[in-house]
Amino acid sequence: MPVTKVLIANRGEIAVRVIRACRDMGIATVAVYSECDRTARHVRMADEAYPIGPNPPRESYLRIDALIAVARASGADAVHPGYGFLAENEDFAAACRDAGLTFIGPSPEVIEQMGSKTAARQAAMAAGMPVVPGTTTPLGADVPDAEVRRIAESIGYPLMLKAVSGGGGKGMRVVNGPEDLSGALRAARSEAGSAFGDSAVYLERRLLRPRHIEVQLLADHHGTVIPFVERECSIQRRHQKVIEESPSLAVSPDLRRRLTSAAASVAARVGYTNAGTIECLLDEDGSFYFLEMNTRLQVEHPVTEMVSGVDLVQWQIRIARGERLTIDPEAALTPRAHAIECRIYAEDPDNQFLPSPGRILRLQAPQGPGVRDDSGATEGLAVPIFYDPMISKLIAWADDRPQAIARMRRALREYEVHGIKTTIPFFRWALDDADFLAGRFDTAFIDRTLAERGGAPFDQPAADDETLAAIAAALHLALGGGTAPAVGVTPAVSAWRQQARVEALR
205 binds, options a second copy, another protein, none, Cβ within 5 to 8 A by partner type: none
Separation of alpha carbons 20 and 242, rounded Å: 23
In angstroms, what is the minimal distance from the CB of 218 to a second copy? 15
SS3 128: coil
Site map 403..442 versus another protein, x via CB under 8 A: ---------xx--x-xx-x---x--x--------------
Could you tell me which of 300, 298, 320, 295 has the C-alpha nearest to residue 119?
295
SS3 409: helix
Site map 291..330 versus a second copy, x via CB under 8 A: -----------x--x---x-x-x-----------------
Residues 24-43 that bind a second copy (CB under 8 A): 24-26
Q: What is the phi/psi pair of residue 57, to 5°?
A: -50, -40
- Counted residue by residue, the chain has a size of 506
In angstroms, what is the minimal distance from the CB of 207 to a second copy? 34
Among candidate residues 296, 318, 372, 401, the one labeled active-site is 296
296 tagged catalytic: yes
Interface region with a second copy, contact rule CB under 8 A, candidates 145-153, 440-448, 455-463, 472-480: 472-480
348 binds, options a second copy, another protein, none, Cβ within 5 to 8 A by partner type: another protein
- Does 144 bind a second copy (CB under 8 A)? Our answer is no
SS3 labels along 248-261: CCCCCHHHHHHHHH
Interface residue with a second copy among 20, 221, 238, 269 (CB under 8 A) is 20
How far is CA 304 from its chain centroid? Answer: 14
361 binds, options another protein, a second copy, none, Cβ within 5 to 8 A by partner type: another protein
- Does 459 bind another protein (CB under 8 A)? Our answer is yes
Output 324 or 448, the one with its CB closest to another protein: 448
- Does 450 bind another protein (CB under 8 A)? Our answer is no
- Does 468 bind another protein (CB under 8 A)? Our answer is yes
Site map 215..254 versus another protein, x via CB under 8 A: -----------------------x----------------
Could you tell me which of 283, 280, 188 has the C-alpha nearest to residue 238?
188
Output 58 or 324, the one with its CB closest to another protein: 58
- Does 488 bind another protein (CB under 8 A)? Our answer is yes
Could you tell me which of 110, 133, 126, 127 has the C-alpha nearest to residue 262?
127
Give the Å distances, CA to CA, from 497 to 82, 117, 217: 34, 49, 48
How many binding residues for another protein (CB under 8 A)?
89
- Does 1 bind another protein (CB under 8 A)? Our answer is no
Q: Are 362 and 379 in contact (CB under 8 A)?
A: yes
CB-neighbour burial class of residue 345 (10 A; exposed 0-12, middle 13-18, buried 19+)? buried
Beta-carbon contacts of 264 under 8 Å, excluding residues fewer than 6 positions away, are 215, 217, 225, 226, 227
SS3 494: helix
Residues 23-82 that bind another protein (CB under 8 A): 31, 33, 38-39, 43-51, 57, 70, 73
- Does 122 bind a second copy (CB under 8 A)? Our answer is no
Interface residue with a second copy among 150, 413, 448, 453 (CB under 8 A) is 413
In angstroms, what is the minimal distance from the CB of 454 to a second copy? 30
CA-angle at 256, arms to 252 and 261, nearest 5°: 160
- Does 367 bind a second copy (CB under 8 A)? Our answer is yes
C-beta neighbour count of 494 within 10 angstroms:
12
Output 93 or 492, the one with its CB closest to a second copy: 492
- Does 141 bind another protein (CB under 8 A)? Our answer is no
Q: Are 202 and 189 in contact (CB under 8 A)?
A: no
- Does 478 bind another protein (CB under 8 A)? Our answer is yes
Interface residue with a second copy among 16, 32, 110, 159 (CB under 8 A) is 16
- Does 369 bind a second copy (CB under 8 A)? Our answer is yes
Q: Are 443 and 211 in contact (CB under 8 A)?
A: yes
Q: Are 376 and 40 in contact (CB under 8 A)?
A: yes
C-beta neighbour count of 323 within 10 angstroms:
13
Separation of alpha carbons 305 and 384, rounded Å: 29
SS3 380: coil
- Does 487 bind a second copy (CB under 8 A)? Our answer is no
CB-neighbour burial class of residue 208 (10 A; exposed 0-12, middle 13-18, buried 19+)? exposed
Residues 384-403 that bind another protein (CB under 8 A): 385-389
- Does 134 bind a second copy (CB under 8 A)? Our answer is no
* Pairing outcome for strands 338-345 and 240-246: antiparallel
- Residues involved in catalysis: 296
Tell me which residues touch a second copy (CB under 8 A).
16-17, 20-21, 23-26, 45, 302, 305, 309, 311, 313, 336-337, 364-365, 367-375, 378, 398-399, 403, 406-407, 410, 413-414, 478-481, 489-491, 494, 497-498, 501-502, 505
